[in-house]
Chain A
Amino acid sequence: MSDPILATHSLSRSFGALKATDNVSIDLRAGEIHAIIGPNGAGKSTLIQQISGVLAPDQGRIELLGEDITRLSTVTRARAGLGRTFQISALAMEDTVFENAMLGALGARGNPWSFWRAAKRDTALSETALAALEQVGLAEARDMRTADLSHGQRRQLEVAVALTLAPRAFLMDEPMAGLGASGSKQMTGFLDGLRAEAPILLVEHDMDAVFALADRISVLVYGQIIATGTVDDIRKDAAVRAAYLGEDL
């Protein structure tokens, strides 16, 4: 088995007496989609905040490409190759779709200190931005104001910005959130193809999408991983059924 791209080792984080993350060790291997599911309050958001660098863990380590990134800032983690998308779209709403993608391209370049030449005349920058927009199917909407986009388009743009960074691993926080059935299906198809570019650690509530996409699933309950396995393993697991899934699955 090859080395994991992204891994956590015995990660723990408490808020007072509450163990929001309790000894969590998961890994993400090349080419896979690893889904993390769990009931509300299981600690999914806390876990994702620690991996992305918003929240420091009390104990444990996080590794990206074999390097310890536990103490690095969000900014440095992004530069090291971690591409994150947000549960609630975090986009510059007053700007155009293209400008949002340009921000990603600028981040990929890692140097925003250019004060004179117009950004849109910078062909290297706009090519990166446009390629990402084309990949998610938003090229037509490039000049629309982001605030005027539909919810589904915003989710697509959210992914497009992450794509401009050409990350080594994606960290996606509920990319299906708020999408209707057809939107969810479209996004599922897209993420399915994306795993070849970089593996995806996917936190998601939409079970249809998770079962359709995931190579492996980890189930998080009360801050602990109670099971990790393939879709079939998880469906069969008695503890998972009892804790979370309900008998009809």
Chain B
Amino acid sequence: MIAERPLAVLVLTALLAVPLWALAVDEPFTITLATRAAILALAAVGLNIALGMGGLVSLGHAVFFGIGGYAMGILAYHAQTYTPLEIFGLSIEGTKSMPVIWLVATLVSALAAWGIGLLSLRTSGVYFIMITLAFGQMFYYFAISWSAYGGEDGLSIYVRNGFPGVNTLVPIQFFALCFALLCAALFLNARLQAAPFGLALNAARQVPARVETVGLNPVRLKLVAFVVSGAITGLAGALFADLNRFVSPTMFSWQLSGELIVLIVIGGVGRLMGPVIGACLFVTLEHWLGGITEFWHVFLGVILLLIVLFARGGLVGLLTGKEGPHV
């Protein structure tokens, strides 16, 4: 048994140690895998705020991942073709600057989350799952038919975007950026959880009627959680696109939304390190088992079954000996 805080330090140290080791033995692909894990973890940390704290089973979080991806793709595309982006009668220059792209990705995702949340939160339970899935599919098919930005084929960005003072083309440096953002998101998550907002949201998940009775609006609390959640997942999307230097409609796919939920459930719903442990395990399995058989999802399914049946708190629950929140 291990307490939650040492576990966080341990997991993050391990995630940092793997690419450093890979650097020492010159295994750049392992650094890319670790970066992929850190980005997926960031996306899942975002989802975990809605799912774990707010009890919102969103099967459409790929929407925000995709928006983040396309925010990067579109801005970088206009920069690499030297054509301005014409929108709402404005002519905007493209950019290859990561901080600007991150800001745009986060803001646009937050705005989308606000709109989707406003409509979806009128429902709950299965209907909420279905309506978020429906939004996901809408964005997916929109991206497929959006021929200006590659349609079904997606968009390739030839050179990774830049960050002041960092050579992002060096894998370990790009990893460092992703890892820093993951740590920042985890810190934000921990603060939110302990803050009055987290307290109220936690109660809104369990007993909305009680929250109303003390004069607070549970739907509004959940909406804010959904917006923060979408913004973080959107940021992860921008990083993911930069990792692959490629954006395509699959970033909007419902399978991705599902995988995010699965890796959170495996790691531990509503637990700070749940998404990180889940994402690391997911990427490891995907790489190792994926090399052996293309049906590696079967093994993931078995693990998910075992967790759901015997360890409701996920791996974090097993490791800390404490069951997490019920969603």
The residues of A with any CB-CB pair to B shorter than 8 Å are 52, 73-76, 78-79, 84, 86, 90-95, 99-100, 102-104, 106-108, 110, 112-120, 122, 125, 161-162, 164-165
Q: Which residues of B contact A102 (CB under 8 A)?
A: 196, 199
Report the minimum CB–CB distance from B12 to chain A (whole Å). Answer: 21
With A78-B213, A106-B214 as known contacts, state yes or no: A119 contacts B207, CB within 8 Å.
no
Report the minimum CB–CB distance from A89 to chain B (whole Å). Answer: 9
Q: What band does the interface of chain B fall in when counting residues whose beta carbon is under 8 Å from A?
A: 20 to 34
User: Are B215 and A119 closer than 8 Å at their CB atoms?
Assistant: no
User: Are B194 and A92 closer than 8 Å at their CB atoms?
Assistant: no
Q: How far is the CA of A112 from the CA of B202 in the complex (A)?
A: 12
Q: How far is the CA of A116 from the CA of B188 in the complex (A)?
A: 8
Q: Which residues of B contact A120 (CB under 8 A)?
A: 194
With A118-B194, A119-B194 as known contacts, state yes or no: A75 contacts B216, CB within 8 Å.
yes
With A92-B206, A93-B206, A118-B194 as known contacts, state yes or no: A107 contacts B215, CB within 8 Å.
yes
Of the listed residues B191, B197, B199, B214, the one surrounded by the most CB atoms of chain A closer than 10 A to its CB is B214
Within 8 Å of chain A (Cβ to Cβ): is B18? Answer: no
For the complex of A and B, list the 7 residue pairs with the smallest distance between their C-beta atoms, beginning with the closest.
A107-B214, A78-B215, A112-B200, A79-B215, A118-B194, A90-B210, A74-B212
Neighbour of B200 across the interface among A103, A117, A118, CB < 8 A:
A103
With A74-B212, A103-B200, A106-B216 as known contacts, state yes or no: A115 contacts B206, CB within 8 Å.
no
* Chain B residue with the shortest CB-CB distance to A83: B213
Neighbour of A74 across the interface among B195, B196, B213, B326, CB < 8 A:
B213
With A112-B221, A119-B194 as known contacts, state yes or no: A99 contacts B215, CB within 8 Å.
no
Within 8 Å of chain A (Cβ to Cβ): is B198? Answer: yes
Q: Which residues of A contact B203 (CB under 8 A)?
A: 92, 95, 99-100, 103
With A79-B215, A86-B210, A103-B211 known, 17 other A-B pairs at CB within 8 A are: A76-B215, A84-B213, A91-B210, A92-B202, A103-B210, A106-B200, A106-B216, A107-B216, A108-B214, A110-B215, A112-B200, A113-B197, A114-B195, A115-B192, A118-B194, A118-B195, A122-B196
